[in-house]
Each structure stands twice: as C-alpha cells, then as structure tokens.
C-alpha cells in the first residue's frame, strides 16, 4: 500500500463533496438574490443563471480538463482546480455587479469540471475490481453528503444575508492542503501525448458503446436538476417557508442518497448497469409523482426523500459504467466527455422543462416527467432481457 492511503482517499472523497451540487449551494438564496437585483430586467432569470451557469462551463471545459489529465498528468489539474474553486466560488460574497458574479460562476464551473474529472479518473487509476465499485459508491455518497451539509448551511446563511452562502466555497483550500501531501501521479498511466497510437485518432478510439452512457447521463441529470432549480420557487410559495427550510428540503434528498450510494457496491454485485438505471428511474418517478400532487411542505420533503433513493445510485452507476468501458490511456478524456453530458443536462434542465410548464403547470410537469421516466425504465429493462445489453451493460449494437 502506498503511503498516506487514508489521507489520499479522504482527499478524493472530500473533494467529491465540492462537485455535483456545487452550483446548488446557493440554491436557497435564489429568491433573495432575485429580490436584491429586482431593479434589473429579467432579475429572476439572472438569479437562476447564477445557479445553472457553472453547469454550462463545466460541460464546455470538462473535455479540456480530461485531455490535460491524460496529456500532462492528474495531480496538477487537481491542485489548480481546488485553488480556482475557492477564488471563483467566493466572488458572490463581495461583488455587487450581478454580471461580474456570473463571470465568477463561469470560472467556478471550469474548476468543478476539472475537479470532478480528476477525482473520477484518479479513482479509476488507483483502484480495480470490487474495490473500485466500492470507492466509486463512496465517491457518490460523499458528493451527496456535500449537498446535504452545504445546501443546508447555505439555507441558514441565506437567512442572514444572501451573500454568505458564497463563503462556503473556500472549503476547497482545506482539501487542497490534504491533497498536496497525499495525492501522487499514478505510475501506470502514461500521458497520452507520449503514447503511440498508430492509425487511430482520439475519436476513433472511443468505443461506440460509450455513447449510450453519455446519452443516459445527459437525460438523467437533466431530470435530477429539476429539484435544485425548480423546488425553491415551489417551496417559497408555501406559507411560512423560510430560506432555511428551503435549504433543508432540497438537502434532504441527500439523506437517502447517501444511504443508497454507500450500498451501491452491493447493488452492483446483484444488478447490471441497465437494471440499476431502471431502478433509479422508478424511484425518481415515484418521488416526482408525490411532489406533483403535494400541497404541503412535509409531503414535498417526503417526495424529495424518495427521489434521493434513486439519485443516490445514479452518479456512481454512470461513472463506474464509463470507467469500466474506457481504455486506460484515454480514461481522463472520456470521463471529461461524460462530465460534459452530465452538466449539459443540468444546464438545459430548466430550458427543457419550460415547454411542459407552459402547457400545464410546474406541479404537473413533475408528473409528466415521472411518466417519461417510467417508460424509459421499462425500455431499459426490456432491452436488457432481450439481449440488447450484455452482462457488462454494453450495447450489443455497439462496436
């Protein structure tokens, strides 16, 4: 065992708390931010962009981060992303111009894309077999736990002032200190720039079956981000619901998500990747139906908790699915593309939902999305049973 194994694993797992829900840390403050800039046209849209803009830049820059991971190595990308995370994330605490805050959120997205890609790639490099499944499950659990802790804290701080939740991003500097001591460059991974790949371009090296994972990731996280984007406005319309209660409600999803993520390795030993995604969609559909018919804070929270049961398996499943398919020499690049799909899904979530809301209502849109999830769950289950996927969750139609 390499020195500092415990500290190294802690660095990767705690770093994961900074990733998926990074934008949503300020979710409870959205109504207050909207009111603070109400003198500007489209203040509500601008406040929502503060939440979703990082996802766009994560999506755009994650492939670049993945390429740098393969070409120049893992460590320095990880270290730089942790520094940029703190610098860019805290801009909302002291900048008064909402457009400059949006610039800071763009840089935050760049840092998250690099950080998330580096962590998943390093887990793929350091671990194999069942241990890889276990650590990947823990990674998803810590990401969910970060949402629970940081979004709840964001709600409490937003009740003091809308600027205070932005200070949470400085936590990355603590993780940077841990990583500087413990994270090493995997010896067996050679930079792709120094590897001879005769007769093959990078695109031709990507297995066709990987694109199924990318499509599933995009859709799954577009559905996932309905909660942090839409729920603050649904909850704030209820009588007596404060920013703290909004933060607790959204963060409560991570209570059940953590439990499922910690048990992901056990589930994976019994179910193949497509079956796990079917289970994810069934659980989220049930939660969205509950949310769609609810008329009280308690019932909405219950629906969010049910959703967490599905979302707790989602991140680990798509990450492990991709890592198992990716050739080691371009693993960082392919993980970068995966993160592009994940965060493009998050960014486009409110855009894709808007037609449903305009045709019906925000509550009914959750029910309609639940119906779509049930249909796709059925298709995945049917396709697996009829042999469209092999035992590794690989499409038999791919190369």
Q: Is residue 311 part of a domain?
A: yes
Q: Is residue 313 part of a domain?
A: yes
Task: Please check the confidence at residue 252 and state whether its pLDDT lies above 80.
Answer: yes
Domain assignment of residue 9, given as a range: 5-184+207-385
pLDDT in tens, 272-325: 899 999 999 999 999 999 999 998 999 999 999 999 999 989 988 998 999 888
Contact 137, 262 (CB under 8 A): yes
Q: Structure pTM?
A: 0.76
Residue 338's CATH number: 1.20.1250.20
Q: Which two tokens stand for residue 305?
A: 């908790």
Q: Is residue 92 part of a domain?
A: yes
Give Cβ neighbours of residue 22 (< 8 Å, ≥ 6 apart).
54, 85, 89, 108, 112, 169
pLDDT in tens, 338-388: 988 988 888 788 888 878 878 888 889 999 999 999 999 999 988 877 766
pLDDT in tens, 51-88: 878 888 888 888 888 888 877 778 889 999 999 999 99
Q: Is 36 helix (H, G, I), strand (E, B) or coil?
A: helix
Tokens 């319309």 — which residue? 237
Burial class (CB in 10 A: 0-12, 13-18, 19+), 220: buried
- H or E element in which residue 74 lies: none
Q: Is residue 73 part of a domain?
A: yes
Q: Is residue 211 part of a domain?
A: yes
Nearest to 105, CA basis, from 116, 86, 89, 87: 89
Give Cβ neighbours of residue 63 (< 8 Å, ≥ 6 apart).
333, 336, 337, 340
Q: What's the Rg (C-alpha) of the chain?
A: 20
Backbone angles phi, psi at 389, to 5 degrees: -125, 140
Q: Is residue 200 part of a domain?
A: no
CA distance to 29, 276, 368, per residue, from 371 (Å): 31, 18, 5
Q: How many domains would you assign to the chain? A: 1
pLDDT at 336: 84
């Amino acid at each position: 065992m390499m020195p500092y194994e415990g500290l190294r694993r802690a660095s990767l797992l705690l770093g994961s708390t900074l990733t998926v829900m990074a934008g949503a840390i300020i979710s409870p403050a959205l109504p207050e931010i909207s009111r603070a800039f109400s003198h500007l046209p489209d203040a509500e849209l601008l406040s929502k962009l503060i939440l979703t803009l990082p996802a766009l830049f994560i999506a755009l820059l994650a492939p670049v981060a993945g390429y740098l991971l393969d070409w120049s190595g893992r460590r320095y990308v990880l270290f730089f992303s942790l520094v940029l995370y703190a610098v860019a994330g805290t801009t909302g605490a002291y900048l008064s111009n909402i457009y400059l805050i949006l610039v800071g959120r763009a840089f935050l997205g760049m840092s998250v894309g690099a950080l998330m890609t580096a962590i998943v790639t390093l887990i793929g490099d350091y671990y194999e077999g069942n241990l890889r499944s276990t650590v990947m499950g823990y990674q998803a659990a810590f990401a969910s736990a970060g949402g629970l802790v940081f979004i709840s804290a964001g709600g409490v701080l937003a009740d003091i002032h809308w600027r205070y939740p932005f200070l949470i991003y400085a936590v990355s500097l603590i993780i940077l200190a841990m990583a500087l001591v413990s994270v090493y460059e995997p010896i067996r991974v050679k930079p792709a720039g120094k590897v001879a790949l005769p007769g093959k371009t990078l695109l031709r090296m990507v297995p066709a079956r990987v694109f199924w994972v990318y499509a599933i990731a995009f859709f799954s996280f577009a559905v996932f981000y309905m909660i942090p984007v839409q729920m603050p406005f649904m909850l704030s319309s209820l009588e007596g619901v404060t920013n703290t209660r909004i933060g607790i409600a959204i963060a409560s999803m991570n209570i059940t998500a953590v439990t499922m993520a910690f048990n992901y390795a056990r589930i994976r030993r019994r179910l193949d990747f497509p079956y796990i995604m079917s289970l994810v969609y069934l659980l989220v559909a049930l939660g969205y139906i509950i949310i769609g018919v609810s008329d009280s804070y308690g019932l909405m929270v219950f629906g969010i908790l049910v959703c967490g049961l599905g979302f707790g398996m989602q991140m680990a499943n798509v990450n492990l699915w991709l890592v198992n398919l990716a050739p080691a020499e371009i693993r960082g690049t392919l993980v970068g593309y995966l993160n592009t799909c994940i965060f493009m899904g998050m960014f486009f979530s409110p855009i894709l939902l808007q037609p449903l809301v305009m045709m019906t209502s925000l509550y009914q849109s959750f029910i309609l999305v639940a119906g779509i999830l049930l249909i796709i769950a059925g298709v995945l289950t049917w396709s697996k049973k009829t042999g469209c996927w092999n035992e590794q969750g690989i499409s038999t139609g791919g190369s």
